[in-house]
Chain A
Amino acid sequence: MGVLVIAEHDNATLAGATLSAITAAVRLDDAVQVLVAGHGCRAVAEAAARVQGVSLVRHSEAAHYARPTAEDLAALVVDLAADFTYVLAPASTFGKNFLPRVAAILDVAMISDLIRIEGPDRFVRPIYAGNAVATVQSTDPIKVVSVRATAFDAAPSGATAVPIEALEAKPHSDLAEVLAEQLTQSERPELTAAEIVVAGGRGMGSAEGFRLLEEIADRLGAAIGASRAAVDAGYVPNDYQVGQTGKIVAPKLYIAVGISGAIQHLAGMKDAKVVVAINKDEAAPIFQVADYALVADLFQALPELGAELKRVLAK
């Protein structure tokens, strides 16, 4: 009966997290359809049609899908869902918002934050801020699942495209209306997709302190992350937050600077391949998960690191 993947996109490009969800979908069933609902998003549907493993793209256009509300998106998805065994979306704020609504209307349980598939009805997900993992078995006819993007590689794109089928939009619900969006502008790679993440905590001391990190990030082509303490102190915007309640990252290299390493922060980064911690407190819990630990004052270490990187990367 196949898998329906709901694409996350900004009407211009397909979000990387969607590609990870497609990889999970392909492992569940070989009939994978992607729903692209948006406004002026033909290019996104065409990109989805070229992703390997996808057999059909459903494309729904409406002005109210430009930034769809959970109410509108759930109504569209629920109507399609009856034909599928699985309904998947990325476990981003996009997927977390509408997917439980879909599950409840279908009267099925939902599996949040899938990190491993153990069978057609067996799924592994983290609980307790990633301090335990649970294997759950679903007894529902339709399995509604959000997929943790960092746990699955992005599905590759090929040259051949599968058909795109138009899907009629549902009328706009008057329950909710998107009034505005304020997005953080950044030239740097997107935090959840970056190969290298440089993150700062309360130890950075100020927004100015974060400039030191920006220099390192720019030299490495890295994204910048932050602990909750740094966000609450107003050093950086809240969408920089890495952790249980922020973003989950699993880059090749994670450099934690002035971050103590509370349980809630570790939940968001401990699957990074290599973790570096720079902290002046030798007892900081971050050192327990760090592959390379440097006990040093960050205001001395960071300029040195910048100079050293310049020297090594120039080679």
Chain B
Amino acid sequence: MKILVPVKRVIDYNVRVRVKADGSGVETANVKMSMNPFDELAVEEAIRLKEAGRVEAIVAVSIGAPACRETLRTALAMGADRALLVTTESELQPLDVAKVLKAVVGQEAPELVIMGKQAIDDDCNQTGQMLAALLGWGQGTFACGVALAEDSVTVTREIDGGNQTVRLKLPAVVTADLRLNEPRYIKLPNIMKAKQKPLQSMTVQELGVEVAARLKTLQVSEPPPRRSGVKVSSVAELVDKLHNEAKVL
């Protein structure tokens, strides 16, 4: 079987983001970028399924500026077999990304798409569900366990009260939660090998997808800052302040 893994290039999760003074967005120039952490889990899971002998090929795909090539090389170094870069000038929203991915699925015909449950920049948590909807496939969101069978995949999902297990008919879309696995450390020889792996590039137009942002971002601003607090010297002082000053006890 073939697995498609969409990956997104985002500001590194450790970076403290700065909102631009003109309110148009956050500062991305000279900021460390890396693969969205949830997508790393998706790549890792696909590789584990391949190592278990159930999967023949893993195709990584990224959509965006040419710099997404880096993110794809990372996926290749982890163990993906080949990569597709779909370039576009415009900033795509989840519905657009889902439409582009649908076109890629049409070309590649994977039986499973594994992707992150959300990107840590827009925090939308939509694309996987939208892709499943557009394809008319089943969806296994927030996965912390994936088991492949002949014509189905069983997904353990993280839900608010605990876990839920669903069985999906293949083909299907699965989105990865944090506890799905621990992504592997990339060794230097694998980075070298990844440079030899095929990375094909095309444009959104070549795929025949029309993208049109339906949501207009009017403004991006800083959240209201919290006023600075006070240091207490003892537990007794803490309880006294909570009781008499903050009045929350």
Q: Do A and B bind each other?
A: yes
User: Which listed residue, B94, B123, B132, B136, touches A129 by the CB 8 Å rule?
Assistant: B123
If the complex has contacts A138-B215, A196-B248, A312-B249, are A126 and B162 also in contact, measured as CB distance less than 8 A? no
- A-contacting 9-mer, from B43-51, B53-61, B234-242: B234-242
Q: List 25 A-B contacts (CB under 8 A).
A: A69-B138, A102-B133, A104-B98, A104-B129, A110-B124, A111-B215, A112-B125, A126-B123, A133-B221, A134-B219, A137-B215, A175-B137, A175-B138, A175-B172, A177-B166, A179-B166, A182-B163, A220-B249, A253-B242, A253-B246, A264-B13, A292-B230, A293-B230, A305-B239, A313-B249
List of B residues within 8 angstroms of A291 by Cβ:
226-227, 229-230, 246
- B-contacting 9-mer, from A51-59, A207-215, A231-239: A231-239
Q: A223 to B217: give the CA distance in the assembly, Å.
A: 36
Contact assessment for B229 and A98 in the assembled complex, using a CB-CB cutoff below 8 Å? no
In the complex, what's the smallest C-beta–C-beta distance from A274 to chain B, in angstroms? 5
If the complex has contacts A93-B160, A293-B231, A301-B235, are A101 and B132 also in contact, measured as CB distance less than 8 A? yes
New A-B contacts (11) at CB < 8 Å, excluding given A70-B141, A110-B126: A92-B160, A94-B160, A97-B139, A100-B130, A113-B123, A127-B121, A136-B215, A138-B214, A176-B169, A181-B159, A274-B242
In the complex, what's the smallest C-beta–C-beta distance from A135 to chain B, in angstroms? 5
A63 at the A/B interface (Cβ < 8 Å)? no
Q: A192 to B160: give the CA distance in the assembly, Å.
A: 10
If the complex has contacts A180-B164, A293-B230, are A134 and B217 also in contact, measured as CB distance less than 8 A? yes
Tell me the residues in window 207-236 of chain B with beta carbons closer than 8 Å to chain A beta carbons: 213-223, 226-236
Give the residue name and chain of the A residue nearest to B241 (CB).
A292
- Interface of A with B (CB < 8 Å)? 67, 69-71, 74, 92-94, 96-105, 107-113, 122, 125-140, 173-184, 192, 196, 220, 228, 231-232, 237-239, 244-245, 247, 252-253, 263-264, 270, 273-276, 287-296, 301, 304-305, 308-309, 312-313
User: Which listed residue, B17, B134, B138, touches A104 by the CB 8 Å rule?
Assistant: B134
At the interface, is chain A mostly helix, strand, loop or mixed?
mixed
Tell me the residues in window 110-146 of chain B with beta carbons closer than 8 Å to chain A beta carbons: 117-118, 120-134, 136-142, 144
B40 at the A/B interface (Cβ < 8 Å)? no
In the complex, what's the smallest C-beta–C-beta distance from A149 to chain B, in angstroms? 11
List of B residues within 8 angstroms of A67 by Cβ:
164
Contact assessment for B17 and A131 in the assembled complex, using a CB-CB cutoff below 8 Å? yes
In the complex, what's the smallest C-beta–C-beta distance from B34 to chain A, in angstroms? 14
User: Which listed residue, B162, B168, B223, touches A133 by the CB 8 Å rule?
Assistant: B223
Q: A312 to B220: give the CA distance in the assembly, Å.
A: 44
List of A residues within 8 angstroms of B249 by Cβ:
220, 253, 309, 312-313
Contact assessment for A139 and B214 in the assembled complex, using a CB-CB cutoff below 8 Å? yes
List of A residues within 8 angstroms of B88 by Cβ:
none
In the complex, what's the smallest C-beta–C-beta distance from A157 to chain B, in angstroms? 22
List of A residues within 8 angstroms of B94 by Cβ:
100, 109-110
